[in-house]
Chains A and B, each alone.
Chain A
């Protein structure tokens, strides 16, 4: 279809400007805006606050393509693009390893999808390598977004090592923006309004985080034409993973753990160990559970519905009985999650695997610190300062501190290549969390066989939690 001017006025020149995560479209002369509005440009709406058209930044690529078409057809005189502020780079990869077949396949599939898409690979299968190949392929200023500061540190090292250039960091008290920059999802959300025009490629590591309401906005505020998502577990229980297609692109390649086990991932076993509460713990657990259940019954609270839990919390705050019920719920959970017997089992397992790199996971910080004090092993939680956690991860890698306790911060992505044993003292019912924790010990080494132990308090609600989180092919 050919666009044409509805009047005899000469076609206007169109100006694109990035403003706070949006693309502002103006014309010279100003009167030409009506004509351009009539072209129905992708994502554009009239903004009377500024007397301009405006589109979300993520529509930039489609907008430019449409304007180029209209210019060719004579509907606009020209396009002045002041929105894009990213550089084309001349990166040279320093001694890149020979890519594995599926890594090459992933980059080719991503390229075919116009440089937009998600690659799903199990932990340890080399997702970072796929991103490094994509960055070298596109040669555009790139922003890597990762969920934790540990991962930011890891990406920073990987980019610097591969391309031998200075790499910027935004987050954790740093704000250095360079053509290759790494940031956290939180910082991307906070700063994308100012950074969104400075990168032509955005890599979203652990991309399943991106679709939460606030983080998704970070993707919309960026004009990057090229987008790559990486994850081992794209599915979310809230169904929001459906948004990934619009924000990043379709899944262009997917491989599961059992497809790569043995050749590209370490062989592994999983073992669930049932533990019993001590008599005193059982008595306290029973009393606490009765108090909690009594309140639920008296108040006729249905925990099955979507609002069930928040309803309980709300009602609990309103009376002394409610507050006692909440305290009882916390107590019974604590007893099941960190029972004395579990700590005895941890002791036995540490003796069973002397010298093995071992990660001990818990659901809460208090248990992680209790493990640290009892077994004299270091712990990493969100409160551990960057300097100390870097030192601890290095000591874990070189074997001088081969046992590490943690709550949730090492669940994802952090590269601990030699980890061989994982002990799950407690966790949520999330399949994703459990698969990610398994992934920590699957990086291959010659002759390595990894093992994951899951400790479950018998005859408590933890039994159901355990069943829920093991509902994945990696555990069958």
Chain B
């Protein structure tokens, strides 16, 4: 990943130097820190990298206002006294300052220094968090920030991921939360590809959704493998440029949350139950998206693949909201290109009668889920 033209090693070296400056300014003012960082000398070709690194370092600092005096109160007293002196025709600047400072129990230089101590540049630097951070961690944050900064200028994004259902669902939730729309793109294998932009992008390309797209990045980067392709408008009125970024998350299958007991039970028992009905069929955890535009999108838990390659999804809705179930009903009613069985707990109070009697897509269950009943429904949906 490019870090404003710096290699990772250069970035780490630069950040180490800047962190030392910030730590040295712990307890001094923000203005002094900013001035000191601006003094760091680098090759002219690395100036942009320096500016980015300075911002990164400043962002990791906390800033506090001195709490032993209230600058706003000092100002109120000083300006009130000055206005009164002007009205009385007795205004002498230094005399007014000396009187108010004495009244506040401060000497004049301290009083004047405290007068605007609440402005940003006068706040005190707290570099504690920075002390505990390794340069490598800062480089990682730089990386993320740079991808997000780029997406702030994005007109549209294509996301390709290979991920577990839990990560894909998290990504879909993030899309919904940000009110972004997507169009699934057919892919080979288990991957998922989505073209994402905002609703008003239909009428004109806009940077309106850049921030929302940037906020998706952590969700994308959490996937096992990911690739972002963004059309980015770097200059106002300029032609969009295509940027591609890719990476892999450090996903540890050993510590990853296992499927729910109901889903795990299906994965364990469904192969045997289905074998009698559909010889040669396989059962696996599903990674694919099931969507009907304008109706709903979901990532079912299990996929059954018949010997002839046709597939049927199974999704288990145990403790979900009723609204989620109705969306699945709407999916089934809309007609799915790949059939699905939605197994709904009776706790959710949704009857199989919500669909036509001959539609096998809705299976209500009480307590435990019978793999045999699921297999029977899958068999009906995949019947030639």
Residues of A participating in the B interface, judged by any CB pair closer than 8 Å: 19-22, 24, 26, 30, 43, 45, 47-52, 54, 56, 193, 213-214, 217, 220-221, 317-320, 350, 354-355, 369, 373-378, 383, 385, 388, 391, 400-403
Contacts and interface: CB of A to CB of B under 8 A. Distances in A.
10 nearest A-B pairs in the assembled complex, by CB-CB distance: A51-B294, A376-B82, A20-B179, A51-B293, A50-B294, A49-B181, A22-B199, A378-B79, A20-B199, A49-B183
A375 B93 contact: yes
Contacts of A388: 72, 75
Nearest to A381: B119
A26 B294 contact: yes
Contact of A51 (B81, B182, B295): B295
Given A50-B293, A51-B292, A378-B75, A45 B83 contact: no
Contacts of A217: 200, 206, 208
Contact of B202 (A54, A317, A319): A54
Given A51-B294, A376-B78, A56 B83 contact: no
Nearest to A369: B116
B97 interface: yes
Interface in B45-94: 45, 47-48, 72, 75-76, 78-83, 86-87, 89, 93
Contacts of B78: 376
B240 to A, nearest CB: 15
Contact of A354 (B86, B93, B181, B202): B86
B47 A50 contact: no
B208 A214 contact: yes
Contacts of B381: none
A22 B200 contact: yes
B200 A319 contact: no
Interface in B111-154: 112, 115-116, 119-120
Interface residues of B, number: 42
26 contacts: A20-B200, A26-B294, A43-B203, A47-B181, A48-B183, A49-B183, A50-B181, A51-B292, A51-B294, A51-B295, A52-B294, A56-B203, A317-B47, A317-B48, A318-B47, A369-B119, A373-B115, A374-B93, A375-B93, A377-B79, A377-B83, A378-B79, A388-B75, A400-B83, A401-B79, A401-B83
A50 B293 CA distance: 4
B96 interface: yes
B198 interface: yes
A21 B206 CA distance: 13
Contacts of B189: none
B44 interface: yes
Nearest to B209: A20
Contact of B179 (A193, A373, A385): A193
Contacts of A378: 75, 79
A217 B208 CA distance: 8
A19 B44 contact: no
B83 A320 contact: no
Nearest to B196: A49
A188 to B, nearest CB: 13
B47 A45 contact: no
A219 to B, nearest CB: 12
A248 B166 CA distance: 46
A45 B44 contact: no
Contacts of A49: 181-183, 293
B297 to A, nearest CB: 10
Contact of A318 (B44, B179, B208): B44
A19 B179 contact: yes
Contacts of A193: 179
Nearest to A46: B202
Contacts of A43: 203
Nearest to B211: A190
Contacts of A30: 334
Given A214-B208, A355-B87, A378-B75, A373 B112 contact: yes
Contacts of A56: 200, 203
Interface in B267-293: 292-293
A30 B93 CA distance: 78
Contacts of A401: 79-80, 83
Nearest to B208: A217
A103 B45 CA distance: 59
A369 B71 CA distance: 14
Nearest to B180: A20
A401 B236 CA distance: 44
Contacts of B112: 373
A383 B294 contact: no
B44, B81, B120, B334 pick with most chain A CB within 10 angstroms: B44
A220 B75 CA distance: 44
B238 to A, nearest CB: 12
B67 to A, nearest CB: 16
Interface string B183-226: 10000000000000011101100111000000000000000000
A47 B181 CA distance: 10
Nearest to A23: B199
A84 B89 CA distance: 62
A402 B84 CA distance: 10
Contacts of B202: 22, 45, 47, 54
B151 to A, nearest CB: 16
Nearest to B50: A317
A375 B96 CA distance: 11
A47 B334 CA distance: 17
Nearest to B93: A376
Given A47-B202, A50-B294, A56-B203, A376 B79 contact: yes
A176 B236 CA distance: 34
A197 to B, nearest CB: 13
Interface string B19-38: 00000000000000000000
B276 to A, nearest CB: 38
A319 B207 CA distance: 32
A350 B82 CA distance: 13
A38 to B, nearest CB: 18
Nearest to B120: A383
B19 to A, nearest CB: 23
A388 B116 CA distance: 13
Given A49-B183, A376-B93, A19 B79 contact: no
B199 A21 contact: yes
A19 B182 CA distance: 14
Contact of A319 (B44, B82, B294): B44
B44 to A, nearest CB: 5
B31 to A, nearest CB: 11
A20, A48, A317, A319 pick with most chain B CB within 10 angstroms: A20
Contacts of B81: 376
Contacts of B203: 43, 45, 56
A378 B295 CA distance: 59
A8 B79 CA distance: 81
A221 B294 CA distance: 20
Nearest to B333: A30
Contacts of A355: 86-87
Contacts of A317: 44, 47-48
Contacts of A24: 199
Nearest to B292: A51
B83 A403 contact: yes
B72, B179, B182, B200 pick with most chain A CB within 10 angstroms: B200
B316 to A, nearest CB: 27
Contacts of B179: 19-20, 193
Given A318-B44, A354-B89, 14 more contacts: A20-B179, A20-B200, A45-B203, A48-B293, A50-B181, A51-B294, A52-B294, A220-B200, A354-B86, A373-B112, A376-B82, A376-B96, A391-B76, A400-B83
A59 to B, nearest CB: 10
